[in-house]
Amino acid sequence: METHGEFELSIAISPADIDVQGRVNNVVYLRWVQDAAVAHWRTLASKNEQENITWVVVRHEIDYKRSARAEDSIIAVTWVGTATNTTFERFTEILRAADRKVLARARTLWCPLDAKTGRPARVGQEVRDRFSVAGSNRDNC
């Protein structure tokens, strides 16, 4: 679901996501951050944009707040903050669906690549405007 620049993705926890402590492993949260970003791109980007632009992460920052357990349903909420020609700052919150408590917060820097050459690509103003909520970091992310 997309609202006010935010995109939500429902996520089911699989048995493989659970670690020896009976909680979702921290690495899984990072996968969810990436899954939400990809789903957001695929939902809003045109077919042509998807064929010509790919993305690579250049930096992840993640703060773990609470544990998720096998019985939880998860929601990833993501939005793009500042977007330049060659860098998109993306924020993601991983929430427990039942009470919308924040389980983790992430800030990721993504670089667009030319799909044919694999080299950094400039992204036009139209794409930046469609995804970016300039200056948005939503309450201390």
pLDDT band at 72 (very low <50, low <70, confident <90, very high): very high
Q: Identify whether 112 is part of a domain.
A: yes
Q: Identify whether 58 is part of a domain.
A: yes
Mean pLDDT, rounded, for 106-119: 96
CATH label of the domain that carries residue 43 = 3.10.129.10
The secondary structure element, H or E, covering residue 31 is helix 26-44
Spell out the residues 6+ positions from residue 115 whose beta carbon is closer than 8 angstroms to its own: 51, 52, 53, 54
Q: Identify whether 121 is part of a domain.
A: yes
- Determine the pLDDT at residue 131: 80
Q: How many domains does the chain have?
A: 1
- Determine the pLDDT at residue 139: 40
Q: Identify whether 141 is part of a domain.
A: no
Q: Identify whether 140 is part of a domain.
A: no
- Determine the pLDDT at residue 134: 56
Mean pLDDT, rounded, for 96-108: 98
pTM of the shown model: 0.88
Residue 42 clears pLDDT 90, i.e. is over it: yes
**Token pair for 48:** 């042509």
Q: Identify whether 125 is part of a domain.
A: yes
Domain boundaries, position 36: 2-131
Mean pLDDT, rounded, for 128-136: 70
**Token pair for 109:** 């820097």
- Determine the pLDDT at residue 140: 36
Cβ distance 58 to 109 under 8 Å? yes
- Determine the pLDDT at residue 130: 83
Please count the other Cβ atoms lying within 10 Å of the Cβ belonging to residue 25.
15
Q: Identify whether 113 is part of a domain.
A: yes
Q: Identify whether 84 is part of a domain.
A: yes
Mean pLDDT, rounded, for 121-135: 79
